[in-house]
């Protein structure tokens, strides 16, 4: 098959998942994959091959436009690609604007290309559900040949918000590439020669991640435990200064290390001891899965799809959103009990590999493509209806 993949090529979880699906479709399933967007997927690096291509979307600026119309440029250039490269399937990550652009490109091309969309969360819960975007999102959800969501939570939320018929959306969990995330990548000696207990937070430091609660929870652990501890923050975002100011105000500024955006985060994660993830909203929580795969227990809020990823009491602990004291109490059990820490880390790594297995999940996407192309898609809506 010839597959076009649309996604945001930046360091978000959806970009990583989209790239790994494309890479596996090319390298393991033998398909030809065309990534289409403003930039190549960051993991693609220089690894261009005869089966993996990148097509840059060119924007036409014009003084009358307030913003260059990306969706229109994408649809127009994609319609040309559909014909030139004889595309069979377009896999859009994010309903907006990608699923809409894919449907428009199909119409323009006049070809029977199949449109498949994977929902990642805020494309539905924040943007798609908003009155200014609700109709076009609903249109895309109904017109695509198949729609998947990365968790049962997101599937149910989407069905509820858009009053969709049951079975319109199916869940296919996220996964990760075990080559990049496994306990064997640990580099404690180099990254943590002091052998402190390392708490970790990895995100884009936006308000929805409740990053100030990360600092408050870490502070609670420092106050209640005699163990030397550090907090490592991987990622960058708008709340970084507030986090630094809060840490300084609480007298723990010297224990908090902002590590910024890094391309190879596996060794850093594997060298830490506990992931703190207090997010207010999280359709899946790929960072939790990455940490578990590296053998870390996860201390996470009971938000969205996180309870489907983290097994409470087994691979970490869950706490009610915003309840810092509860989180500290649960985190302390892990910090103070090395046996519990070890057994939870081991179960976390097993759970990550078994339940979110890359090969199994890539096969499910492959079957979805095959069903769509052969017209067998369960719950699929025929093109153009
Ligand atoms: O919308 C965002 O917050 C970014 C987005 C992304 O591109 O990574 O995150 C969403 O998709 C991820 C991959 O499926 C999920 O792991 C995140 O939970 C989800 N974010 C939210 O639901 C807030």
Residue 226 CA to ligand 1 center (angstroms) comes to 35
Q: Does residue 383 register a pLDDT over 80?
A: no
**Any residues with Cβ below 6 Å from ligand 1, and which?**
12-14, 17, 120-122, 150, 174, 208, 281-286
pLDDT at 380: 41
pLDDT at 47: 59
Q: Does residue 3 register a pLDDT over 90?
A: yes
Q: What percent of the chain has pLDDT over 70?
A: 96
In degrees rounded to 5, what are phi and psi of residue 219?
-60, -45
In degrees rounded to 5, what are phi and psi of residue 173?
-65, 155
Q: Are residues 78 and 164 in the same domain?
A: yes
Alpha-carbon separation of residue 338 from 8, 77, 342, 345 (angstroms): 40, 56, 6, 10
Q: Are residues 250 and 151 in the same domain?
A: no
**What gap in Å lies between CA 147 and CA 154, rounded to an integer?**
12
Q: Are residues 159 and 192 in the same domain?
A: no
Whether residue 267 is contained in a domain is answered as yes
Q: Are residues 77 and 212 in the same domain?
A: no
Whether residue 147 is contained in a domain is answered as yes
Whether residue 381 is contained in a domain is answered as no
Q: Does residue 384 register a pLDDT over 90?
A: no
Summarize the confidence of residues 347-369 as an average pLDDT. 97
Strand pairing partners for 256? 231
Q: Are residues 40 and 17 in the same domain?
A: yes
> What is the enclosing helix (H) or strand (E) of 216?
helix 211-224
Q: Are residues 341 and 213 in the same domain?
A: yes
Whether residue 260 is contained in a domain is answered as yes
Whether residue 385 is contained in a domain is answered as no
Per-residue pLDDT band at 373 (split at 50, 70, 90)? very high
Whether residue 157 is contained in a domain is answered as yes
Q: Does residue 66 register a pLDDT over 90?
A: no
Give the DSSP per-residue string, 68-134.
--HHHHHHHHHHHHHHHTT--EEEEESIIIIIHHHHHHHHHHT---EEEEEE-SHIIIIIITSTTTH
Q: Are residues 324 and 339 in the same domain?
A: yes
pLDDT at 134: 94
Per-residue pLDDT band at 382 (split at 50, 70, 90)? very low
Strand pairing partners for 86? none
Q: Are residues 263 and 187 in the same domain?
A: yes
Residue 315 CA to ligand 1 center (angstroms) comes to 21
Q: Are residues 191 and 98 in the same domain?
A: no
Ligand 1 site-directed mutation target among 12, 15, 152, 210, most atoms within 8 Å of CB: 12
Per-residue pLDDT band at 124 (split at 50, 70, 90)? confident
Whether residue 380 is contained in a domain is answered as no
Domain count within the chain: 2
Domain that holds residue 48: 2-175+357-374
* CATH code, 264: 3.40.50.2000
Determine contact, residues 44/54, Cβ cutoff 8 Å. yes
Q: Does residue 79 register a pLDDT over 70?
A: yes
Q: What is the largest CA-CA distance in the chain?
A: 68
Q: Are residues 208 and 281 in the same domain?
A: yes
pLDDT at 8: 87
Alpha-carbon separation of residue 34 from 51, 87, 285 (angstroms): 8, 9, 26
What pLDDT, in 10s, does the model give residues 183-236? 999 998 899 999 999 999 999 999 999 999 999 999 999 999 999 999 999 999
Q: What is the average pLDDT score of the chain?
A: 94
pLDDT at 319: 98
What pLDDT, in 10s, does the model give residues 283-301? 999 999 999 999 999 999 9
Whether residue 379 is contained in a domain is answered as no
Residue 121 CA to ligand 1 center (angstroms) comes to 6
Q: Are residues 324 and 364 in the same domain?
A: no
Ligand 1 site-directed mutation target among 279, 283, 300, most atoms within 8 Å of CB: 283
Ligand 1 site-directed mutation target among 120, 308, 310, 365, most atoms within 8 Å of CB: 120
Alpha-carbon separation of residue 163 from 139, 155, 156, 167, 168 (angstroms): 12, 12, 10, 12, 10
pLDDT at 378: 45
Q: Are residues 212 and 302 in the same domain?
A: yes
What pLDDT, in 10s, does the model give residues 138-196? 999 999 999 999 999 999 999 999 999 999 999 999 999 999 999 999 998 899 999 99
Residue 295 CA to ligand 1 center (angstroms) comes to 22
């Amino acid at each position: 098959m010839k597959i076009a993949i649309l996604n945001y090529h930046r360091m978000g979880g959806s970009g990583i998942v989209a790239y790994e699906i494309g890479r596996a479709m090319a390298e393991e399933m033998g398909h030809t994959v065309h990534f289409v967007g403003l930039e190549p997927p960051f993991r693609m690096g220089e690894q261009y091959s005869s089966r993996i291509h990148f097509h840059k979307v060119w924007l036409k600026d014009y003084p009358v436009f307030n913003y260059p119309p990306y969706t229109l440029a994408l649809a127009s250039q994609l319609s040309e690609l559909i014909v030139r490269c004889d595309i069979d399937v377009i896999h859009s990550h994010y309903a907006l604007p990608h699923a809409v652009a894919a449907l428009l490109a199909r119409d323009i091309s006049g070809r029977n290309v199949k449109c498949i969309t994977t929902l990642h969360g805020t494309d539905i819960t924040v943007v798609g559900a908003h009155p200014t975007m609700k109709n076009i999102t609903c249109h895309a959800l109904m017109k695509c040949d198949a729609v998947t969501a990365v968790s049962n939570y997101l599937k149910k939320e989407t069905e509820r918000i858009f009053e969709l018929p049951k079975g319109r959306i199916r869940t296919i969990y996220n996964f990760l590439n075990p080559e990049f995330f496994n306990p064997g990548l640990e580099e404690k000696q180099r990254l943590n020669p002091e052998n402190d207990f390392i708490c970790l937070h990895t995100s884009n430091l936006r308000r929805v991640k409740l990053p100030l609660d990360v600092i408050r929870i870490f502070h609670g652990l420092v106050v209640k435990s005699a163990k030397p501890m550090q907090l490592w923050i991987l990622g960058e975002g708008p709340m970084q200064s507030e986090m630094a100011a809060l840490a300084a105000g609480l007298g723990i500024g010297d224990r908090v290390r902002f590590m910024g955006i890094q391309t190879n985060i596996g060794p850093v994660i594997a060298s830490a001891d506990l992931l703190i993830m207090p997010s207010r909203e999280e359709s899946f929580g790929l960072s939790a899965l990455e940490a578990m795969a590296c053998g870390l227990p996860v201390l996470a809020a009971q938000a969205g799809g996180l309870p489907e990823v983290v097994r409470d009491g087994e691979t970490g602990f869950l706490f009610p959103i915003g309840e810092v004291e509860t989180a500290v109490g649960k985190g302390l059990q892990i910090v103070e009990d090395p046996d519990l820490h070890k057994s939870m880390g081991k179960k976390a790594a097993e759970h990550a590999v078994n339940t979110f297995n890359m090969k199994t999940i890539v096969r499910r996407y492959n079957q979805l493509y095959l069903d769509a192309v052969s017209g067998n898609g369960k719950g699929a809506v025929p093109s153009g209806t």
